[in-house]
A and B are shown apart, each in its own frame.
Chain A
Amino acid sequence: MGRHVFLDSVAVADCAMEVVGDDLDDLFATAARAVAEVMVDPATAGRAHERAVELAAPSLDLLLYDWLSELIYLKDSEQLVFPEVEVHVSGKAPCRLAARLRGDVLDRERVALRADPKAVTFHQFALEPHEGGWRARVVIDI
């Protein structure tokens, strides 16, 4: 089961996180949930809105960059946040991702809003094998 921790002492104006997953699917899903947690209190958001996302990238780390960027894009273009995600990642080049997202509209009367992520940065950006699973470090511009 994946987990994430926010890194208080890195890039103080922004939001740095370390994400660990049992495998790539778990890592990508955990990172997506962490991004949703930056935007809203997930407990206050419903799951009625569904979206499917498919992406391809030349490398795994760029696939992770594009994946998290897609979630930030959907936040602005459709005003949606997705605390629940299922992801399947294929690590063979070109790397591919297929995801099903469930979430809610960003309605400040109903959903407890937090920060508005602007973008995924490449600062200290990393994705690497770790203790039989995977680990990523991501800094998000707030």
Chain B
Amino acid sequence: MKTLPIADCVWEIPPSEKPGMRVPARIYASEALLGQMDQGVFEQVTNVACLPGIVRAALCMPDGHWGYGFPIGGVAAFRADTGVISPGGIGFDINCGMRVLRTRLTEAEVRPRLRELVDALFAAVPSGVGAHGFVRLRDDEFREVMRDGSGWCVRHGYGWPEDLAATEGGGCLPGADPEQVSTRAITRGIGQLGTLGSGNHYLEVQVVPPDGVHDAAVARAFGITGPGQVLVMLHCGSRGFGHQVGTDYLRRFDQAMRAHGITVPDRELACAPFRSPEGQAYFGAMTAAANTAFANRQVITHRVREVMGRIFGRDPRELGLEVIYDVCHNTAKLERHVVEGEPLDVVVHRKGATRAFGPGAPDVPAAYREIGQPVIIGGSMETGSALLVGTAHAMTETFGSTAHGAGRTMSRAQAKKRVWGETLIQQLAARGIVVRAASKSGVAEEAGFAYKDLGEVVDVVHRLDVSRRVVSLRPIGNIKG
């Protein structure tokens, strides 16, 4: 497939390369990262370019890798009036996302009690296959969570009012419709609020390394004062509830597409016109799942505050355990962007891609309005993570989107063949990183060598000016599913 360089770190596959492509496919990557992308990325991003109503181009971020339907790292905008919505462009883990909290603690204060802290967090935040949380809900209460997201948590004592302003969409996206959610989805997810899941999901205690501050002014706006400061990061989504919503509607769209006369190059790209009854039903159910994901991260935040308050013998407010930001990387949202010089309502699908709105953009909290929205890019438990900030250029280049992680370079099975989970846990302990995991094999699957170089991914999005580097973070404690 012809992949042409059109600018620094921008590669384009023209529509002539595959029958049915309506727009070009555009991949953002350095030459090294492009070389590490598997063939599935190129097939999948060009498949996305075939979907009805797509505007400008099908995009893939520098952490892109082979997914299902869209590539992971995929971004596409579809006209709200004539375009489609596709569960395969969002993923089953609806509103999988990242949240980061700052603290007033330093590594010197935390290090002596690190093992105790990690053990306590592991006990307080259930993880692994089939895990259930401590929040007991009736059906009608769960429907309130679907409508109100993090707001429900704050009203019920699982958060602070200011957490909402530090969450994308205020922790509650508009348009959630619990009536479009199946009983099976409710049964599957009602007991899972406050759980981490497995795979690449984690709860991590992190520290700003000596050379970790890249933009001191923006870092200060994030409440980051300098090296040695401890932060807490979490990565998880809507758990079984969102997974079942995705399953239900993928199955439904697979059958409904025929009635709408739509054919797709990959069955996982099953879709429906956004304005059709099926499209609106899915949007309502998907948004309900997105709001439960915000609530899930909010309840985990509450647990983190409880645990850290207990371990360090101080009120969580005194510890400064405030949310810097919470951002989604698996959603479809109705947004207005300038397309061909005109404002246009589009349904922006981000699958393994982070919203990165720039200064002054709508929905950027007041505290960040002049600098842009905080962006959280999660790395592996070995390599660390990064905080960036959204840019004005992202709004015109990538529909306000950037990378979400390091991106895998090898399969989970390949990673497990290279290292035992127990061995890796010991190696990390020797480097000062304490790991607790529900599954030892799951630890091996998430080894640092299974991922691309996070620094290279961050460097590319920084060079492209679709988000700017602010702080690098290094893990010292990790809880895995």
Given A76-B192, A115-B412, A116-B129, residue A11 in contact with residue B67 (CB < 8 A): yes
Nearest A residue to B132, CB-CB: A79
Residues of A within 8 A of B66 (CB): 10-13
Q: Is B82 an interface residue (CB 8 A)?
A: no
Give the A interface residue count (CB, 8 A). Answer: 40
> In this assembly, does A52 line the interface, its C-beta being within 8 Å of a C-beta of chain B?
no
Interface string of A92-112 (1 = CB under 8 A from B): 000000000000001010001
Question: CB < 8 Å: which of A10, A14, A113 contacts B439?
Answer: A113
B residues near A75, Cβ cutoff 8 Å: 129-130
Q: Which of B198, B251, B414 contacts A116 (CB 8 A)?
A: B198
Beta-carbon contact of B192 and A12 below 8 Å: no
CA distance A142 to B96 in the complex (A): 13
Do A106 and B413 touch across chains, with their CB atoms under 8 A apart?
no
In the bound complex, residues from chain B placing their C-beta under 8 Å from that of A69 are 247, 251
Tell me how far the C-beta of A39 lies from the nearest C-beta in chain B, rounded to whole angstroms: 5
Q: Is B481 an interface residue (CB 8 A)?
A: yes
Distance in angstroms from B239 CB to nearest chain A CB is 8
List the one stretch of A25-33, A82-90, A119-127, A128-136 in contact with chain B.
A119-127
Q: Is A24 an interface residue (CB 8 A)?
A: no
Shortest CB distance B331–A (Å):
16
Instruction: Digitize A51-93: 1 where CB-to-B-CB distance is under 8 Å, 0 elsewhere.
Output: 0000000000010011001001101110111000000000000
- Chain A nearest CB from B24 CB (Å) reads 23
Take A76-B240, A141-B92 as given contacts and tell me if A12 and B129 are in contact as well, using a CB distance cutoff of 8 Å: no
- Evaluate contact between B247 and A120: CB separation under 8 angstroms: yes
Does any Cβ of B come within 8 Å of A47's Cβ? no
Measured between alpha carbons, how far is A123 from B247 in the docked complex, in Å? 13
Partner-contacting stretch, out of B8-16, B265-273, B303-311: B265-273
**CA–CA, A10 and B66, complex, Å:** 8
Q: B418-439 vs A: 1/0 string, CB under 8 Å?
A: 0000000000000000000011
User: A118, B441: Cβ atoms under 8 Å?
Assistant: no
Chain B residues near A123 (CB-CB < 8 A): 67-69, 88, 266-268
Interface string of B438-463 (1 = CB under 8 A from A): 11111001000000000000000000
Q: Does chain B have a CB within 8 A of A139? A: yes
Q: Which residues of B contact A19 (CB under 8 A)?
A: none
Residues of B close to A20: CB separation below 8 A: none
In chain B, what residue has the closest Cβ to A107?
B130
Q: Which of B93, B129, B189 has the most CB of A within 10 A?
A: B129
Q: Which residue of chain B lies nearest to A105 when distances are taken between CB atoms in the complex?
A: B130
Provide the residues of chain A in CB contact with B170, threshold 8 Å: none
Asked whether A141 and B91 contact (CB < 8 A) given A73-B188, A120-B247, the answer is yes
- Contact in complex: A73, B244 (CB < 8 Å): yes
Which of B251, B408, B440, B481 meets A12, CB within 8 Å?
Answer: B408
**Those of B194-235 within 8 Å (CB) of chain A:** 197-200
Report if B187 contacts A (CB, 8 A). yes
Bound form: Cα–Cα A59–B409 in Å: 36
- Contact yes or no, A119 B247, CB < 8 A: yes
Q: How far is the CA of A80 from the CA of B129 in the complex (A)?
A: 10
Is B105 among interface residues, defined by CB-CB distance under 8 A?
Answer: no
**A120 cross-chain contacts in B, Cβ below 8 A:** 247
A32 vs B438: C-alpha distance in the bound complex, in angstroms?
23
Are the CB atoms of A40 and B129 closer together than 8 Å?
yes
A141 to B189, CA, bound (A): 17
Measured CB to CB, the closest approach of chain A to B293, in angstroms, equals: 13
B243 within 8 A of A: yes
Pairwise interchain contact A113-B268, C-beta atoms closer than 8 A: no
- Residues from chain A with Cβ under 8 Å of B411 in the complex: 8-10, 12-13
Evaluate contact between A76 and B130: CB separation under 8 angstroms.
yes
Indicate if the CB atoms of A122 and B243 lie closer than 8 Å.
no
Q: Is the CB of B199 within 8 A of A113?
A: no
The one of A6, A76, A115, A122 in contact with B189, judged by C-beta atoms closer than 8 angstroms, is A76
By beta carbon, the residue of chain A nearest B248 is A69
Assess the B129–A125 pair: CB atoms within 8 A.
no
Q: How far is the CA of A120 from the CA of B239 in the complex (A)?
A: 15
**Shortest CB distance A126–B (Å):** 10
A16 to chain B, nearest CB (A): 8
Interchain CB contact under 8 A, A65 and B129 = no
Chain B residues with CB below 8 A from A34, complex form: none
Is A49 at the interface (CB under 8 A from chain B)? no
Establish whether residues A77 and B128, one from each chain, have CB atoms under 8 Å apart when the complex forms. no
Q: How far is the CB of A94 from chain B (nearest CB, A)?
A: 13
A9 → B minimal CB distance (Å): 7
Distance in Å from the Cβ of B46 to the closest Cβ of chain A?
Answer: 15
Given A13-B408, A14-B68, A81-B129; A119-B188 close (CB under 8 Å): no
Give the residues in chain B near A125, CB-CB below 8 Å.
267-268
User: Given A119-B247, A139-B68 in contact, is the A106-B412 Cβ separation under 8 Å?
Assistant: no
A118 to B438, CA, bound (A): 17
Known contacts being A76-B188, A76-B192, A79-B132, is A116 close to B481, with CB within 8 Å? yes
Q: Is the CB of B188 within 8 A of A116?
A: no
- Can you give 13 contacting A-B residue pairs, CB < 8 Å? A12-B66, A13-B66, A13-B411, A14-B67, A66-B251, A73-B184, A108-B129, A108-B438, A115-B445, A119-B247, A121-B88, A122-B268, A142-B198
Q: With A6-B413, A122-B266, A141-B68 given, can you name 17 additional A-B contacts, CB distance below 8 Å?
A: A8-B411, A10-B411, A11-B67, A12-B411, A15-B413, A39-B130, A40-B129, A69-B247, A76-B189, A77-B184, A118-B240, A121-B68, A123-B88, A125-B267, A141-B91, A141-B92, A142-B199
